Structure formats: structure tokens, C-alpha cells
Amino acid sequence: MYSIALSMLLGDKVKCWGLIFGVTFSTLLITQQISIFVGLMARVSSLILSIPEASVWVMDPRSAYIEEIHPLPEINLQKVRSIRGVLWAVPFHKSTVSATTKDGRLHQVQIVGVDPFSFLGMNKALTHGFLDHLRHPLNGILDTSGYQRIWPSSATHLPKMLTVQHHRLSIQGLCESRPTFFSFPLLYVSYYTAKSMMAKKSSPLSFILVKERNGISPQALAKKITKKTGLQAITQSAFSEKSIGYVLKRTGIPINFAITILLGALVGGAIIAQTFYLFFMENLKQFAAMKIMGVSNATLTRMALTQAGCVGSIGYGLGVGLTALFLWSQRNAPAFKGFSLHWQVLVISFTVVTVVILLSIALSLRKLFKIDPIMVFRGG
């Protein structure tokens, strides 16, 4: 019976390819949109996760996520360092400012001010230059994507000059970095360079990065810091989850992606259901003949599932392959840098596509189960 089912399916190549197209379209749209959504959410906490040494982040109690910064008075750095259980605590600055190139072009950049002694907070995957360059107050290190954005037609040639907050900085190095949510160029400088840029407008201390001593957990240390200082202290993983949760709750990103994914499932499902229905109606006499010969509804269902499994596996494989090809082709584009196809995404898309196919089969089989096979041959 299974060979008959496949022969019926492959006998009508137009309908067969129509079914495969429907599954491919659904899989492509669902898998691609979920992958982009996951990639965007990963960017929200990319700066947090790029500093694995810091197990606890200390910030103003009003800060809800990584991009919402309320500067801290610098006296808090000494308060945190004095708490028992703290192995080290270093200052960390983050802000978004305007930078001007030598030819007068204006760009938004994210200033990341790191401790110039330990370089904690600095991405150490340098492609040009040395970390020691950051110890000079007029030097900076830019991420490679940011360099390409600011000087798109220029070959990599250092140093380059940028004017930031009325300070002339010499870009002495380039590094690889995880793209952030807003995709602005990342300009790493010494914390004290960032402090001089801020002048007297506000404190440069955005966060305090902390590492616990042996014998105390990050969670326990975070609670202790909060109790002693009144500041918000949170573990790295919790801060990452909190930042992602903030974006999920306060922006329309999840709703927009959910609508796109739902439309992909509905449109693909409509194509599959309609094509399956036409396929069954055109082969109604064959199915009716099988019922007259004593073939049960359960056997007909297994035949339909065999046809659906063949179509679904081909369509799903093509959809996933096209998604992987798209992400691979855009791997060097700043907008898609760091995006990848996670196995969890494959599981989700497989589940959604399987449900769509099963619902399509169920709708198509309803009429087949209710029809009187004698009436088919009578033309009734």
C-alpha cells in the first residue's frame, strides 16, 4: 500500500511539487524569522556575555537593562571593593556619542571605557594593534565592523583619527566583537579617557564589574553588595536574562516576528491543505476503489501520512537548506553578523511544519472518510 501511495503522489508531478513548495515556503519563512529573532535577542546581552570574567554587575537601582544607564558616583567603586568576598572590582563606562571623521562625516558610536590595568571589559581578539595602546589617553581601539562602517571604501590602514566629544582620538587597533543590539561601532578607550570626555557633566561610572573570591557564590555576593551599598547587584546570567526580558516586554519586536511566523505557517498551511485536498479529490476514484476492496480508513490514513512524510521531508530539507544558505551568504554583513542556525530553532520549525502538515491531511481526509465509494462510481 505504501508503494501505491508514493506512486499516486509521484504520478502527478505538478501537485507533488506544489506540496513541496508549500512546505519549503513555510519552513523557510518560519526558520529564517525565528533565527533572526534569536540573533537579535542575543545581541541585547552580547556586551554582558563578552565579559565572562565579571560574574557580578553592579549598577544604579533604576537601571532596567544594559542600554538604560544611570551613572554612579565614583565613591561607590571603593565601597564595593571594601566588601568582604570581593576579589576585584573595576569601573566600566558605556555611552553612545557622536564621532566625527577627518572629512567631517558624523557617526554614532558606542564608547566602552575599560580598566586600563586589567583591560577587563575589552574584547581581546585583536586583529590590528596591541592592548597596551589603550593605556595612552588619546588612543582607542575600534571593532572591525565599526571600522568598515565609518571608512567603508578605505583599506585597513591605521592609525585613523576620530573626534569624539571634542577630543581627538587616534584609532590604533581593531578587534573582533559581538555586535550589539543597536549595531553602532564599538570604540574601546581607557576608563580615564572616557572620564576626560565626560568632563564635569556627569560621572563616567556606568557599571562596576565584580569577581567573587573562592568560597562565595556570585548570587550570594550580589545580595551582599546590594544590602551593603543599596545599589543593584546582579549576576551576569541574570543581567543577561533581565535585559532580554526588558526588550521582549517593552518593544514590539516579539509581536512583529510572531505575526510574520504565523503568516508563514498560515500561508504555507493554506497551500499545503489546498493542494492536498485537490490531490485527494483527483484521486477519489482510486481511494474509493480501495475502500470497496476492504481497505480500512486506518490504512488510508497511513498512506496519506506516507505521502505527507515524503513531501514534508523534502520540503523541510529544502527550507532549512535555503535558510542556512541565506545566513551563510550574509555572515560578513554587519546587519547579520553573529546570526546562526541553532538546533533549537530547527526543532521549533520542524514542530510547527509537522503540525501544519498534519492539520492539512486531517482536513483532506474528512471528506474521504465520509464519502460513499459506490456514489463515486455512480457520479453522485
Whether the Cβ atoms of residue 239 and residue 48 lie closer than 8 Å to each other:
yes
Asked if the model's pLDDT at residue 182 lies above 70, the reply is yes
101 or 368, higher pLDDT: 101
pLDDT at position 201: 65
How many Cα atoms sit within 13 Å of 167 on the Cβ side? 20
Residue range 337-345: mean pLDDT, rounded: 85
Report which of 28, 32, 7 is spatially closest to residue 310, judged by C-alpha positions: 7
Q: Which of 41-55, 74-88, 297-311, 328-342 has the highest mean pLDDT?
A: 74-88
Q: For 50-99, what is each residue's pLDDT tens digit?
A: 898 999 999 999 999 998 899 999 999 999 999 999 999 999 999 999 99
Which whole-number Å values give the CA distances from 212 to 49, 84, 131, 221, in the listed order? 17, 9, 25, 7
Asked if the model's pLDDT at residue 288 lies above 80, the reply is no
According to DSSP, the residues that pair with 161 across neighbouring strands are 170
Residue range 307-324: mean pLDDT, rounded: 91
Q: How confident is the model at residue 276 (pLDDT cuts 50, 70, 90)?
A: confident
Q: What is the pTM of this model?
A: 0.80
pLDDT at position 377: 58
Asked if the model's pLDDT at residue 380 lies above 60, the reply is no
pLDDT at position 251: 82
Q: For 104-119, what is each residue's pLDDT tens digit?
A: 889 999 999 999 999 9
pLDDT at position 266: 78
pLDDT at position 145: 87
pLDDT at position 374: 64
pLDDT at position 34: 86
63 or 360, higher pLDDT: 63
223 or 2, higher pLDDT: 223
Q: DSSP readout, 225-268? A: HHHHH-SEEEEHHHHHHHHHHHHHHHSSHHHHHHHHHHHHHHHH
Largest CA distance in the chain: 93
Q: For 236-263, what is each residue's pLDDT tens digit?
A: 999 999 999 998 888 878 888 888 778 7
**How high does pLDDT run on average in the chain?**
86
Residue range 315-319: mean pLDDT, rounded: 93
Q: How confident is the model at residue 298 (pLDDT cuts 50, 70, 90)?
A: confident
